[in-house]
Structure 1
């Protein structure tokens, strides 16, 4: 993977990812995740559902962004804007929880701010002009394209982020051994690659994954109702 793309996968990217637990905070509060074994189960489930969907959206966004000429005007033509609106609607349809939709757009706006400074271009300016801002995987796919990456890499970064964020949150929330948590992540490496390839292949075939995770939807809504919380989502 190119060094530019490693920046997008780096947890130190100043895009606010550290403020989101991906449902882990509620999972920990309810006892669903309490140790390394239950964390591994949680991450496998998240990767197979949310990870697959976000990987597909990121790959589709990257593919769409790559079709825009680098020298195109920053004020995107109506056709481009309509295309992004359709992809945004696909993301909305796959995110039934209002709390998750808000979190996704907040993360998308934060990532877009970083990407516009780092890899400026017409596609990112178009997304910035959209009302409410893009969903996070859409912004990620566009950022990968701006950095010179392919849809397969966008899918891989999205799948990877779907488990590393919650894993990091588990260390902070439950005091789990960081070495043990990284052992869990290492055990998921092959599956991360497989999910990314499955998502990218679906996009190449003109489709988008639509796996659902009702428990994560419930966790997101419960999290918003909690009086005390460490993470935004």
Structure 2
């Protein structure tokens, strides 16, 4: 079991507008190039319409989304980001998804250091020059912006479902109003999972990273490995 670090004082609280900037799909963190597993699910016939998309997003939210949100919240609380990066590796069995998480983390780090520069971001960038896992970078970015662990968790859960919903519009020519309605109907689930993630992060502050969830989604792992081998694809993952 990893040894928790003594608490580190967070930056001064930011206004809620910083959360809107970080969660905005136009924030240059590279997420627009990734489908969150939706492209593989469309190819496999598991997403064909808005109802399928809702089921896919709900499943992703309560598995990979919970794990990512807890990692982000823990990083925003000031837990050791290198220990969290190792915990993220242990919770990501698919090599393709580990590589994707680090590419996204590297891109987010570039945007974060330009937007909310700080010594903790600099230290993680130096320690992981090829990229730390995206949820860890997301949490540290939220911390540098003065946002709370709960804010970081909300960003993570929204990314979990927002990416696939946006990708489905392009992959299926799905009506964007329908895709947005899927996200709106998932809002109560997003709030619940973000709250659960923040609670896991509070436990991890006392008990170490072993207290963080390790919810799994085997079809996402299998789909990611298959997707990585496709010679032609619309999205990077």
Instruction: Please report the TM-score for the alignment, with normalisation by the length of structure 1.
Output: 0.91
Q: Secondary structure at the match of 1:176?
A: coil
Match of residue 14, structure 1, among 9, 22, 28: 28
Partner of 1:187: 185
Partner of 1:225: 229
Question: Is 1:84 aligned to 2:88, yes or no?
Answer: no
Deviations 1:145-184 (A, max 9, x none): 0111010110011011100011000001110000011111
- Higher mean Cα deviation, 124-133 or 40-49? 124-133
CA distance in 2: counterparts of 1:37 and 1:84, whole angstroms: 37
Partner of 1:108: 105
CA distance in 1: counterparts of 2:42 and 2:18, whole angstroms: 34
Deviations 1:95-149 (A, max 9, x none): 1000000000000000000010111110010111123221000000000001110
Counterparts of 1:186-205 in structure 2 under 5 Å? Answer: 186-205=184-203
Deviations 1:58-98 (A, max 9, x none): 00111116xxxxxxxxxxxxxxxxx3221111000111000
Match of residue 118, structure 2, among 121, 135, 150: 121
Deviations 1:180-224 (A, max 9, x none): 111111000000000000010111122211100000000100100
Question: Is 1:41 aligned to 2:55, yes or no?
Answer: yes
Match of residue 214, structure 1, among 197, 214, 218: 218
Q: Structure 2: any 5+ residue segments left out of the alignment?
A: 1-14, 205-210
Instruction: Please report the TM-score for the alignment, with normalisation by the length of structure 2.
Output: 0.89
CA distance in 1: counterparts of 2:108 and 2:195, whole angstroms: 23
Partner of 1:78: none
Partner of 1:57: 71
CA distance in 2: counterparts of 1:36 and 1:151, whole angstroms: 31
Q: Secondary structure at the match of 1:205?
A: helix
Give the CA RMSD over aligned residues: 1.0
> How much has 1:19 moved relative to structure 2?
0.4
Q: Structure 1: any 5+ residue segments left out of the alignment?
A: 66-82
Partner of 1:145: 143
